[in-house]
Amino acid sequence: MQYQHLIQQWPAFSNAILAFAQQLGLLEQSASKTQALWCDHVALRVNDIALAESLLVEFKQRGEVISDSIVNGRAIYIIVLAEPLTLGNWQIDCVELPLPGKHYPQQGWEHIELVLPGNATGMDELDHALRLISPNIDTVLTNDSSIQVKRSAPHVEGEQLANPTIAFKQGDICIKLHSAGIKAVVASESTA
């Protein structure tokens, strides 16, 4: 897999992610809420360290690495692209490329991360912000057992910004929700 292969995968991934976001009620918003919710970055999954390193070289030709932190025992690179990727109405300028930590059933684009308004520092606040954007989320989850939900608080050494996470997974795609964007999280690491 090379960068060109990822670009060829992008339309199918975009369509699947947008359909899932619609299903979760994340796209059914008033104009003010639509402006507040934004797509922070997109993440890849690869199983081979040589492939990850090859993709990193290709991404460095198209942007700048702003972080190479260790998260949950593996290096994760954050690359700011010179030309953003388009996902619906969102322009995504950051890509998360983790080195392999476990074997994934599928390689390529895996999830997007959305930032909810409200600057939540805990899970209760993040849940509240989610319900403001998607008031029917509990009904959606009750009626569709194929959606897995995971709550976590990933942390990088030196990180000063609380960033609780809610992840929704269905099949091979995932949407994660945070209260802080990846650039703010990376900036908090450098002020530690």
pLDDT tens-digit readout, 14-47: 999 999 999 999 986 544 444 568 899 999 999 9
Q: Which two tokens stand for residue 27?
A: 């796209």
Partnered with residue 92 across adjacent β-strands are: 85
pTM of the model: 0.88
How many CB atoms within 10 Å of residue 84? 15
Helices (H) and strands (E) counted in the chain, each on its own, are 6, 8
Whether residue 178 has pLDDT greater than 70: yes
- In tens, the pLDDT along 62-75 reads 999 999 988 778 88
Alpha carbons 146 and 148: distance in angstroms, whole number: 6
pLDDT for position 30: 47
Q: What does DSSP assign to residue 106?
A: S
At position 69, the amino acid (one-letter code) is S
pLDDT recorded at residue 146 = 94
Question: Tell me, what DSSP letter sits at residue 100?
Answer: P
CATH architecture of the region 3-190:
Roll (3.10)
- CA pair distance 176, 72, nearest whole angstrom: 17
Residue with tokens 């976001």: 21
**pLDDT for residue 54:** 95
Q: What Å distances lie between residue 136 and 56, 73, 88, 96, CA to CA?
A: 39, 36, 22, 30
Which residues 6+ apart lie within 8 Å of 12 measured at CB? none
